[in-house]
Amino acid sequence: MTSDSHPPTRGESLPFTGPKRTVATVTAMRIEPLTFPAPGGGALVSSNARGGTAGTTLRSGRPGVPGRPSPAAAPAAGLSLLDSLAARTADLSCLADVLIDCVQGGASVGWVKAPTKEQATAWWSAFLADPDHRTWVGRDDAGRIVATASLALTSKANGAHRAEVVKLLVHRQARGNKFAPGLMATIERFAKAERLSLLTLDTETGSLAESLYRRWGWSEVGAIPGFAKVAGGALVSTTIFYKQLGAR
Q: Bigger pLDDT: 112 or 29?
A: 112
Phi first, then psi, for residue 130 (nearest 5°) are -75, 120
| Average pLDDT of the residues in 30-39 | 56
Q: Directed axis angle between helix 117-129 and helix 85-104, to 10°?
A: 120
- The region of weakest confidence among 27-31, 120-124, 182-186, 243-247 is 27-31
In total, the chain counts a number of residues equal to 248
Instruction: Tell me what percent of the residues of the chain surpass a pLDDT of 70.
Output: 65
Domain membership of residue 228 (yes or no) is no
In a domain, 244, yes or no: no
**Residue 124 parent element (H or E):** helix 117-129
- What are the tens digits of pLDDT across the range 61-117? 344 444 443 333 332 322 333 445 556 788 899 999 999 999 998 887 888 899 999
> How many domains would you assign to the chain?
1
Residue 228 has pLDDT above 60, yes or no: yes
pLDDT class for 27, splitting at 50, 70, 90? very low
Does some domain include residue 111?
A: yes
Q: Give the span between the Cα atoms of 55 and 65, in whole angstroms.
A: 23
Please give the DSSP secondary-structure letter assigned to residue 30. Answer: E
| Contact present, 162 and 200 (Cβ < 8 Å) | yes
> What is the overall mean pLDDT for the chain?
73
Average pLDDT over residues 22-45: 46
Nearest residue to 194 (alpha-carbon basis) of 78, 31, 80, 62: 62
Question: For position 131, what pLDDT does the model report?
Answer: 86
**What's the pLDDT at 38?**
37
Residue 111's alpha-carbon distances to 64, 123, 174, 234, in angstroms, are: 31, 11, 21, 13
Q: State the pLDDT at residue 152.
A: 95
For 227, phi then psi, to 5°, come to -80, -40
Instruction: Identify which of 13, 3, 17, 2 has the alpha carbon closest to the alpha carbon of residue 174.
Output: 13
- The answer to the question of residue 245 being in a domain is no
Beta carbons within 10 angstroms of residue 3's beta carbon: 26
CA–CA separation, 123 and 148 (whole Å)? 14
How many Cα atoms within 13 Å fall on the side-chain side of residue 75? 13
pLDDT of residue 230: 84
C-beta separation of 202 from 92 below 8 A: no
What's the whole-number mean pLDDT along residues 159-186?
A: 92
- pLDDT computed for residue 86 by the predictor: 58
Provide the pLDDT confidence category of residue 140 given band limits of 50, 70 and 90: confident
- Please state the φ and ψ torsions of residue 243, each to the nearest 5 degrees: -140, 125
| Domain hosting residue 38, numbered range | 5-17+28-197
**Backbone phi, psi, residue 40, to 5°:** 80, 5
Distance between CA atoms of residues 196 and 188, nearest Å: 9
* pLDDT on residue 128: 87
Whole-structure pTM value: 0.71
What's the CATH code of the domain at 108? 3.40.630.30
The average pLDDT across 205-232 equals 92
pLDDT higher at 143 or 33: 143
Q: Is residue 187 one of the residues assigned to a domain?
A: yes
Residue 222, domain member (yes or no): no
Domain contains 234: no
> What is the per-residue pLDDT for 17?
41
For residue 184, is it within any domain? yes
